[in-house]
Structure 1
Amino acid sequence: MYTPTVNAPAGGRVGTFLSGFGSGVGLLFRGLGIYARNPRLVLLGIIPGLLSGALYLAAFGTLIYFVSDLAELITPFADDWAGWARDVVRLIAALAFLGLGGLLGVLTFTAITLFIGDPFYERISERVEARYGGVPDEIEAPWWRSLRRSLVDSARLLVRSVLIGIPLFVAGFIPIVGQFVVPVVAALVAGWFLAVELVGVPFYRRGLRLPDRRRVLRANRPLALGFGVAVFLCFLIPLGAVLLMPAAVAGAALLARRTLGQSIAADSSNTAESNTAESNTAESNTAESTGAGTTGAQPTVEG
C-alpha cells in the first residue's frame, strides 16, 4: 500500500530529509491553492473554523488575563527575592504558561475543529481526492461509527500530546534552552501530531486506523514533518487556524495519497474532461467530413 523510505548514505541523509521536508511544506500550499480556487470548498470550510476560532480566542484571552496570577502561584519561593530577580523568574513562568497554552491550543484546536466540522471537512477531502482519481475500494461506514472512531483516536492523540507537552513546559524554565531549543522541538512535535491527526479522514476512508497512520507516516517522516510543521506555524498566525484549517485538510488528503503510493501528479477530472472534449471534437470533425464527402459524391448506378 505504501513505499517505505530507503536508508540513504550518511552524507545524503540531510539532503534527503530537507528534500522530503520541503515537499511536505509544498503539499500544504498545494492544498491551499485547491481550496482557494474553489468557492464551494471555501463555504464548506469556513463555518467550523469560525466556531472553533471564537472558542479558542476566548480561552487564550482568559489565559493571558490570569497568566500573572498563575506565575505567582507556581513561584512562591520567589516572594522574598529581590524585585528584579522575582520579576525575571515570574516572567519566565508566564512565558512558559503561554507557550504551553499555545502548543496545547494548536493541537486541541485541530481535534475540536475536525470534530465540529467533520461532515464539512470530509466533503472537502473527498472532493480533493476525486480530482486525482478518487479512492479505490472506498469503505463506506455509518457516520456514527466514523464519529466514534474519530473521537477515540483524537483522544489518544490528545493524551500523547499532553504527556509530551508537560516536559516541554518544564524545560521552558531552563534559560536559553527554554527560549531557543524548546520552541524548535515543540514545533517538530506539534507538526508530527498535526500530520497524524489531519490524515485521519482519508485514512478512515480506506479502512485504516490510528496505528496505520503512524506506521505509514513514520515511513515518510520528513514529508509528514514538513507538512505538519508548516501547518503548525500557520496556525500560530492570528486567525491562521480558522482560515487555513480547510486548506490543511485539503493538503492532508494529498499527503495521504502521497504516502500511500497514489498519484497526485495530475488532475484526473480535468484530464478526463479534456479527453472527453477532444473525443467529442474528433467525432464532430469526422461526422462533418463524412457528411461533406457524402454530399459531394454522386451515386453510381449500374445498368
Structure 2
Amino acid sequence: MSEDSTINKPSSSNPIDNFTSGVRFFFTGMRMLFRHPSLLGLSLIPITFTLIFIILLVFGGTWLLGSMINDLLVTLASFISLLFGGESVPGSGSNVMVPNDLKNFTKTIALIVSLLLGYFLYLPMARIFLAPLSEALSRKTHLIKTGKPYPKASLGWGRAILEGLKLVAFQAAIIFAALIAAIAFPPLGAPAGIMAAVFTCGLDFMDVPLSVRGLPLKSKLGIIFRNKVLAFGFGFAVYLSLLIPIVNLLSLPAGIIGSTLLMDTIEE
C-alpha cells in the first residue's frame, strides 16, 4: 500500500515549505505506525521492555534515594543533638526523631528525582532496546511505501562499527561546540543548546535509513546537508515530541518511520 497520498513532496526552493515538510514527515511516521500493525508490532516489544526498565528504575530509585536521604537526616539530627548537649544512642543513629512530615517530604523529593531520571533515560534506553529492530523497521517502512525491498547493501560489521563511532564523535563535537558557546556567551547558551539538540535529533533518525543503504558517514552528511532545512524541520518535530509525556514513548519508532519516508521521498 502506498503512502504517497499522506506525504507532501518537499520543495527545493522555499525554506519555509521545506521546514514544515520536515515537521510533517515525523507526524506522517506517527500515523503510519498505527496504520500498519506490522510496524507497530516491531516497535511494541522494545517499548515494553523500556517501560519495564523505567518503572523498576523509578521504584528502585525512590526507595534507594529515600533511604539515603533519611539516613542523612538521622545523621544530621544526631550531630545537631550532640552540639546542643544531647547524647547519641548506639545502634539507633540518634536520640532525636526525624519528624514524619520531613520523612514524607524526602520521599516525595526522591520520587520526583527518580521520575526525572526515568524521563531523561527513556530515549537512550529505547535506542538500546530498539537498535536490533531499527533497520528492520526502516526496511519494512520502505517496502510498504514503495512496494520494493531495499537493495542489499552492507558496509560489513567492522566498517559499520567504525561509521557508528564516527557519528557519535561528530554528535559529541556538536554538543561540545554548543557547550563552549554557552560558556563563552551565556545569553546564547539556551538557543545554542536547543539548536544542537534539534540537529542531533534529526541526524540520529535520518542515519537509520541511510545506514540501511550502506552509506559511509561522509555520504550521509552530504545528503543531510543538501537537505538541511528538511532535516532541521524533522529534528525540530522529534525534539518537541520528546518533551511531551506519553507521546515521547512513540517518538523513536515514529522517528525511524518518518525519516525513512523522508529519505525515500528525497530519492524520488
* 1:213 and 2:223 aligned: no
- C-alpha distance in structure 1 between counterparts of 2:35 and 2:245, whole Å: 23
* 1:117 and 2:130 aligned: yes
| CA offsets 1:127-153 (integer angstroms, 9 cap, x no match) | 1101232356331566x5576246424
Q: Which structure: larger Rg?
A: 1
- C-alpha distance in structure 2 between counterparts of 1:114 and 1:125, whole Å: 14
* 1:204 and 2:202 aligned: no
How far does residue 193 in structure 1 lie from its aligned partner after superposition? 1.2
Q: Which residue of 1 aligns with 2:4?
A: none
| CA offsets 1:199-224 (integer angstroms, 9 cap, x no match) | 22211222202221211111111110
Amino acid at match of 1:21: F
Q: Which residue of 2 aligns with 1:194?
A: 201
| CA offsets 1:78-97 (integer angstroms, 9 cap, x no match) | xxxxxxxxxxxxxxxxxxxx
- C-alpha distance in structure 2 between counterparts of 1:186 and 1:26, whole Å: 23
How far does residue 248 in structure 1 lie from its aligned partner after superposition? 0.7
User: 2:201–2:239: 8 Å Cα contact kept in structure 1?
Assistant: yes
**Structure 2 unaligned blocks of 5 or more:** 1-10, 66-112
Q: Which residue of 1 aligns with 2:153?
A: 139
Amino acid at match of 2:175: V
**Structure 1 unaligned blocks of 5 or more:** 9-15, 66-97, 263-303
User: 1:20–1:223: 8 Å Cα contact kept in structure 2?
Assistant: yes
The secondary structure found in structure 2 opposite 1:208 is coil
Q: Which residue of 2 aligns with 1:40?
A: 38
- Aligned partner of 1:223 among 218, 226, 230: 230
- C-alpha distance in structure 2 between counterparts of 1:57 and 1:187, whole Å: 30
| CA offsets 1:241-276 (integer angstroms, 9 cap, x no match) | 3222111110010122233x23xxxxxxxxxxxxxx
- C-alpha distance in structure 2 between counterparts of 1:243 and 1:170, whole Å: 34
* 1:245 and 2:259 aligned: no
Identity of aligned residues (%): 22
TM-score computed with the length of structure 1 as normaliser: 0.55
TM-score computed with the length of structure 2 as normaliser: 0.62
The Cα RMSD (Å) is 3.8
- C-alpha distance in structure 2 between counterparts of 1:244 and 1:165, whole Å: 24
